[in-house]
Amino acid sequence: MQTFIEKMPKAELHVHLEGTLEPELSFALAAKNGVELAYKTPEALIAAYDFHDLPSFLSIYYAAMHVLVDEDDFYQLTYQYLTKASSQNTLYAELFFDPQAHTSRGVSFDTVITGIRKAQIDAEEKLGIKSQLILCFLRDMSAESAMGHLMLAIPYLKWLVGVGLDSDERNNPPIKFAEVFAKAKQLGLKLTMHCDVNQSNTLTHIEQCINDIEVDRIDHGVNSLESDMLCKLIKDKKLGLTVCPVSNQFVVQSLTSDEIHSMLKKDMLVTINSDDPAYFRAYLNENLVALQQEGKFTQDQMVTLVGNSFTAAWLDEQTKQRYL
């Protein structure tokens, strides 16, 4: 089964580029940019990873970003992820990036997006992996800051497929960003938002995503299973759910295989993803293999899960058919 999973052509719809920053690259960039790290070796850094909830992860995730300074740093980050994904037979990826986490440190939007874009083009040409970019707003920053960054993105609209919303959910409901997401939709961008597992007011957040923001997908969304009404809406609207088993495990001590079984049974468009693979020490194959083992999914069910990622991808029908 492991070989079968590894060989399957795959797509990934929920991966944060900054969450693919491997400790080795972190140390190389720190040396190049004269940034001091709190740990002496990549191994010591990994040993310090102690994630038990979203905030405990986010503080380490943001602190590590200081090594990303110039265009080539963002190029290397992106090219390294796409190389790894391609080596796992991922043919297509939709990549989140967090521009506010960089502009707030004095790194320009242009530096970030140009470095990423150049790596996407080179990886498609040299490795054959296609990718598209999703601009994520940090929900613990203001709606004005998010709108400002959407405006910064206007000259680069052709490089973006959609917008997302991530970071700390406490007191930061989807509705806070209604105007920003309405504007993004008007600009022709697809919409998604994080509703991480077991966060505060999670059912209200999911409901706002669907009814007020009118998202095209939901990131995570596992708690929707607690509401028949939300499950029906997600199914009827064919909204993809980008679930991240290993990421969930840090919060709920399970790969949420029971929940994924329930979603399949309810015919919901559930997909499997890695989220922040360098931190959670699991890329897409490792997520799929661990999930299959915990939940004893059949080969057919694994094919359905992987096929769902292509179905829920933000690609035109013609391109999709080439993969399906």
Tell whether residue 149 is among the known ligand binding residues: no
Name the pairing type of β-strands 130-138 and 90-97: parallel
> Is the CB of 101 or the CB of 230 nearer to ligand HPA?
101
Among 22, 169, 275, 286, binds Zn ion (CB under 5 A): 275
| Nearest distance, CB of residue 140 and ligand HPA, angstroms | 9
Name the pairing type of β-strands 130-138 and 160-166: parallel
Chosen from Zn ion, ligand HPA, none, partner binding at 259 (C-beta under 5 to 8 Å by type): none
> Is the CB of 8 or the CB of 221 nearer to ligand HPA?
221
Tell whether residue 52 is among the known ligand binding residues: no
Chosen from ligand HPA, Zn ion, none, partner binding at 167 (C-beta under 5 to 8 Å by type): ligand HPA
Which residues are within 8 A (CB) of 147 and not within 5 positions of it... i.e. 6 or more apart? 179, 180, 183
**Structure-block tokens of residue 117:** 């874009």
94 binding Zn ion? (CB under 5 A): no
| Nearest distance, CB of residue 156 and ligand HPA, angstroms | 21
| Nearest distance, CB of residue 271 and ligand HPA, angstroms | 15
Chain residues in the site for ligand HPA (CB under 6 A): 16, 19, 54, 61, 166-167, 194, 196, 247, 275-276
> Is the CB of 136 or the CB of 269 nearer to ligand HPA?
136
* C-alpha to C-alpha distance for 207 and 308, rounded to whole angstroms: 22
- Exposed, middle or buried by CB within 10 Å (0-12, 13-18, 19+), for 7? exposed
Chosen from Zn ion, ligand HPA, none, partner binding at 279 (C-beta under 5 to 8 Å by type): none
| Nearest distance, CB of residue 98 and ligand HPA, angstroms | 7
Detail the residues annotated as belonging to a binding site for substrate.
276
Residues in contact with Zn ion by CB under 5 A are 275
